Amino acid sequence: MSGALKEVRNRIKSVQSTQQITKAMKMVSAAKLRRAQDAITQMRPYAQKLQEMLSNIVSSSDGNVAMDLAAERPVEKVLVIVVTSDRGLCGGYNSNLIKLAKQVAREKYAAQFAKGNVQLLPIGKKGYEHFSKNGFKVIDKFWDIFTGLSFEKVQGAAQYAMDAFAAKEVDAVEVVYSEFKNAATQRFIAEQFLPVQKVSDKGSNKKSDFIFEPNQEVLIKELMPKILNTQLYKAVLDGNASEHGARMTAMDKASDNANELLKTLKITYNRARQAAITTELTEIVSGAAALQG
């Protein structure tokens, strides 16, 4: 029975050590989440207004202004930008993003995928590793953006997509990322990045008339890339906050599970200990009775 007691004791120590790690990781993620949440909260209204303005400009164009990044053409080649994380232990965060990216590639662009005309541009180590190992066409230049995350690094990825689209190397660009809601809730979405979408005639959005000074073509040429850079940066900030929220939630659940497991193990330990004591007492009483006999 002493061997069984020792085994249960070792398991209790192991679970306690794991629980210390999960609690520490939860605290680290909570601290990082506060900073990441502040960044996306401050960025989102600005990015949304810029996106609205960009769509209105494209919609209000009289057709005489060349807008390469808004040009719609038959889709033969596709680029899918996938924003995952560098590290794991964040629940289903990465697996959900990878699953959605595969759906976009294999279902939305099934004909292009069958011809080998779908490329993936991973941002984040987990996505890069998965798609590289599973035979996808991968652009491997920007997967380490989260190592020292900055607007300039994200701008490099956005510029790559814009250059490829303008050169007609790709005909559509999609962004797959997780929109941050709160620590426990993320929304996994795929958005069209290029060509720039026009304002829909449906709903509350209406085309706006702009007075361009000095020149519509010059302003559009200057504004459009900057706004698109901001849109991708917003998606990356959303992903960054979502990752820390998902990890904090996952570590909190892991700590709770460890508590439940510890309760069960302690009950098992106490029962085994009582059984061992009972056995020892029985042996002592039996020995004493034998001596008296």
The single residue listed with the structure tokens 């060349």 is: 66
Q: Does residue 86 register a pLDDT over 50?
A: yes
Q: Which two tokens stand for residue 272?
A: 């085994």
Residue 120's SS3 state is strand
Q: Which residues have a Cβ under 8 Å from the Cβ of 124 and sit 6 or more positions away?
A: 82, 83, 84, 85, 86, 94, 143, 145, 146, 239
Q: Does residue 198 register a pLDDT over 80?
A: no
For residue 83, give the H/E element and its range.
Answer: strand 78-83
> How far apart, in whole angstroms, are the C-alpha atoms of residue 3 and residue 275?
13
Domains, the chain, ranges and CATH? 21-251 (3.40.1380.10)
Q: What is the pLDDT of residues 132-148, one digit of tens each?
A: 999 999 999 999 999 99
Looking at residue 223, its pLDDT comes to 84
Q: Which two tokens stand for residue 22?
A: 């999960």
DSSP notation for 133-191: HTT-EE--SSTTTTTT--HHHHHHHHHHHHHHHHTTS-SEEEEEEEEEEETTEEEEEEE
Q: Does residue 202 register a pLDDT over 80?
A: no
Identified catalytic residue from 25, 54, 90, 145 = 90
Tell me if the pTM is above 0.75: yes
Most confident range (mean pLDDT) of 208-217, 241-250, 277-286 is 241-250
Looking at residue 59, its pLDDT comes to 74
> How far apart, in whole angstroms, are the C-alpha atoms of residue 222 and residue 38?
28
Contact by Cβ (8 Å): 154, 229? yes
Contact by Cβ (8 Å): 137, 119? yes
Average pLDDT of the segment spanning 241-268: 95
Taking the CB of residue 212, how many other CB atoms lie within 10 A of it?
A: 13
Query: pLDDT grade, residue 231 (50/70/90)?
Result: very high
Looking at residue 199, its pLDDT comes to 65
- Active-site annotation holds for 171: no
Percent of the chain that is helix, strand, coil (3-state, to 5): 65, 10, 25
Instruction: Classify burial at 196, counting beta carbons within 10 Å of its beta carbon; exposed 0-12, middle 13-18, buried 19 or more.
Output: buried
For residue 69, give the DSSP letter. G
Taking the CB of residue 161, how many other CB atoms lie within 10 A of it?
A: 24
Contact by Cβ (8 Å): 73, 171? yes
Q: Of all residues in the chain, what percent carry a pLDDT higher than 70?
A: 91
Looking at residue 212, its pLDDT comes to 67
Residue 255's SS3 state is helix
Q: Does residue 277 register a pLDDT over 70?
A: yes
Q: Of all residues in the chain, what percent carry a pLDDT higher than 90?
A: 69
For residue 79, give the H/E element and its range.
Answer: strand 78-83
Q: Which residues have a Cβ under 8 Å from the Cβ of 216 and sit 6 or more positions away?
A: 61, 65
Average pLDDT of the segment spanning 260-278: 89
Q: Which residues have a Cβ under 8 Å from the Cβ of 19 and sit 6 or more positions away?
A: 254, 255, 258, 259, 262
Q: Does residue 177 register a pLDDT over 70?
A: yes
Q: Does residue 203 register a pLDDT over 80?
A: no
